[in-house]
Structures are given as structure tokens and as C-alpha cells.
Amino acid sequence: MKVIYLDGCATTRVDDEVLDAMLPFLREEYGNPSSPHVLGKRARRAVDEAAASVAALLGADPGDVVFTSGATESNNLALLGVFGHDDRAPVNGLFCPTDHKSSLAIGRALAGRGVDVRMMRVGPDGRIDLEHLAGRLDLHSRVATAAWVNSEIGTVQPVAELAALCHEAGALLHVDAAQAAGRIPMRVREAAADTLSISGHKIRGPKGVGALYVRPEIRHRLRPVMFGGGQYELRSGTIPAHLVVGLGKACELALARLEAERARAAELRATALDMLQAGLPGVRVNGDPRHGVPHVLSVVLPGVRGESLVSSLSSVALATGSACNSGSQEPSHVLTAIGLDAEDANSTVRICLDARMPFEDLVLGLDLVVERARDLAGVVVATGAQAPFSPS
């Protein structure tokens, strides 16, 4: 049965062109990019070309790109790599409460070691309170970290302003751009981020590959977190040429399609929101769309348990919060951080619009979502019986 996929923030299908680019490196071009022979050299050339494509998407130089296994590893490398093993308070790091768990869990690990871990404050729109951050940074601050685009509500953070504040205090700014890559224009040099993570599978590339951008001027402040053959100065391990080539191709396509896809996502989002609001009274949007990406729509559906809605739909895929939260009954940490109570947080669903989906699929998918949501909320159209709200 066809599934209408509205969960592209969790992961995406590999693009056919990406797969085609990868396959030769699993078959005849299987050389190790570190080998000096002919097959190795060809693999190395492909890896270098992929680095150039990643760099072009980020607005960086190819030499600033380190390939990793994904954004989780990139976040670990950037955030653990700036602390020495014996660093303790007053040495500190600043974390954003709405960030992905792959950042927040690192904060917890650092706190467990005795580093002073400080939390930023976010407003109801999900944006970081810059004045508060300025007050939390001091000369012992090593790094602050924030997601450029939030994975649950799509809020875009003012990275250049964050970087300016951090640099003033002598701290680095790490940016988790797993949800930003291919979705918003990124000029990492201009934004002045020091390190930045991306992930292949969020941009129609393969799972298990990502990259860390490292601003060359601060490279000396980072150390490796795992040790081995030193394929990259900061990250050891045989370079998986097929995955890296896939990431490069995905970045190349994402850059070429960025503006067109943003415009189309905005149209789809408007339709999705209209349909939800017409079908279910009381629908509210989380976050502030003026500071959000066009493809993410996070909404409270009053009276509907997001978990029940998502798990009971057999031909529509959408999310309650981030995919990593979906196994837990706890209300999403992102939604509670922007001020939602547990009831609203548990009545939230996230719709991620795929700019390439046919319009009819969106309408069909949203029809099914609205119909099931009305059932779950106890809306009875025929009799006009109402619980907990009346049908529109």
C-alpha cells in the first residue's frame, strides 16, 4: 500500500541520482581512498569531489570538511573535542534546551564529568534569548551550541548573532545544521560558525554518513574523540567512499534545488494548514512561522492524542515530535521548552512537507489525517454531538 510520507525531518528516501552515483563505489570502484594505487587514487578523487560538493552547499572550502557517520557523530566530535579530559568547572559549555538529543546528551555527559553546563533560554517562538545568552557567557566558556533549524518546530536560529556573542566571550559556536542543510541557504563563513554538523539521510542521501565543517582558524582547538589511522586529522576510520559520494551528490542536488523546493514547500504548507484548520476547530501552530522553515508544520490538534493519531494511520507517515522521542511517553522536550503544557504537547503532530510530492498526495494524506483526528477527538458530524469541540 502506498504511504504518503510527511516525515522528511526524520529521514528521507535516497534520491535515484544519489544511488546511481554510489553504486560504482560498491562494485568496481571499491578501492580504499587512502591506498596509493590506481583504485585508491580513483576513490580518493571521488571523495575529494564529494568534499567540494558538501563545501559548496555550506559556503565553505573543501578542506574544511571532515566526513563522519552522521550528525550525531559530528556533534560529538565538535562538542567533546573542545574539552580536555580534565576540564572541570568553572570551564563551561552552553546548550540550547530545544536542541536534538544528540546535543543535549553530550551536555549531560559533560556535566557528569564536572564541566559547568549552562542552558540557554528560548522564547515561545523557539528563538534563543540573546540577552540571556550574553549574560551566561564568560571567559571560561569553551563552546555554545544550537541547531540552526529546530527538528520539531522548524525554528531558524540567528546563527551570525550567536557567533558574534560567543566570539566576544572567546567561546566557539557549534551549529547543528542537520535540519538546515538543503532547506535554508547556508553561508557558514559569513555566519561565522566555528563547527557545523550535517547528515546525509536528511537530504535524500544515505544513512550512516555526515560531515563536520571546521573553521580552519579554530582547528587547533579541537581534538579527536576516537583514534586510529588518522584518515582525517580529526577523525579516523576507512573512508566509506560510496557513502561519501552519496552525501556529495545529495548536497549537489540540494543546492541546485534549494530555492525551488522552498517555494513549493511553502505552498504545500499553506494547503496543509488550511485543510487542518477547516477540518478541526482550534488547531494551533507551534513556533512562529516568521522565524521558521517553510517545510515544517507543527500543530496542536486539541483533543487528539498525537501518538494515537500517528500510530493508527496505515497509509500516512507523520510524527508526534522528533522520531527519537516517539518511543517515549514524555511530552516533547522541545514543546515544553517553548511553553506548551503536557496536554498540548501530547496533542501535537509534526508534518514535514516534501517539496517533490504531488499536490494530490498531500490532499489525500491530509484528508486521512483530518478524518482520523476527528474520530479520535470524538467529533460526530451526523448527529452534531460534540466532544470535546464541535465540527466545523
Enzyme catalytic residues = 324
Distance between CA atoms of 160 and 188, rounded to whole angstroms?
A: 9
Q: Does 102 bind ligand PLP (CB under 6 A)?
A: yes
Region of 390 on the Ramachandran plot (φ > 0 left; ψ -120 to 50 alpha; else beta): beta
Considering the complex, state which of residue 293 and residue 373 has its C-beta at the smaller distance from ligand PLP.
293
Specify the long-range contacts of residues 256-260, CB closer than 8 Å, at least 24 apart.
257/182, 257/355, 258/182, 258/183, 258/185, 260/355
Question: In the window 315-374, what residues touch ligand PLP (CB under 6 A)?
Answer: 322
CA dihedral 308, 314, 318, 320 (to 10 degrees): 10
Residue nearest to ligand PLP (CB): 70
Residue 361 in grid coordinates: 498526495
Q: Residue 155 pairs with which residues in a beta bridge?
A: 292
Considering the complex, state which of residue 10 and residue 373 has its C-beta at the smaller distance from ligand PLP.
10
Contact between 353 and 278 under an 8 Å Cβ cutoff? The reply is no
Considering the complex, state which of residue 12 and residue 322 has its C-beta at the smaller distance from ligand PLP.
322
Question: In the window 186-225, what residues touch ligand PLP (CB under 6 A)?
Answer: 199, 210
Q: Does 104 bind ligand PLP (CB under 6 A)?
A: no
Identify the H or E element spanning 72: helix 71-81
Distance between CA atoms of 179 and 150, rounded to whole angstroms?
A: 7
> Which residue in 155, 179, 347, 348 binds ligand PLP (CB under 6 A)?
179
Distance between CA atoms of 219 and 213, rounded to whole angstroms?
A: 10
Sequence-ordered strand ranges (E) for 26-97: 65-68, 92-95
The minimum distance between CB 262 and ligand PLP, in angstroms, equals 18
> Which residue in 15, 64, 87, 176 binds ligand PLP (CB under 6 A)?
176
Binding mask 44-83 for ligand PLP (x = CB under 6 A): --------------------------xxx-----------
> Which residue in 58, 77, 143, 178 binds ligand PLP (CB under 6 A)?
178
Considering the complex, state which of residue 72 and residue 348 has its C-beta at the smaller distance from ligand PLP.
72
Q: Does 100 bind ligand PLP (CB under 6 A)?
A: yes
Considering the complex, state which of residue 53 and residue 322 has its C-beta at the smaller distance from ligand PLP.
322
Q: Please give the residue ranges that form the binding site for ligand PLP (CB under 6 A).
A: 70-72, 100, 102, 147, 151, 176, 178-179, 199, 210, 322
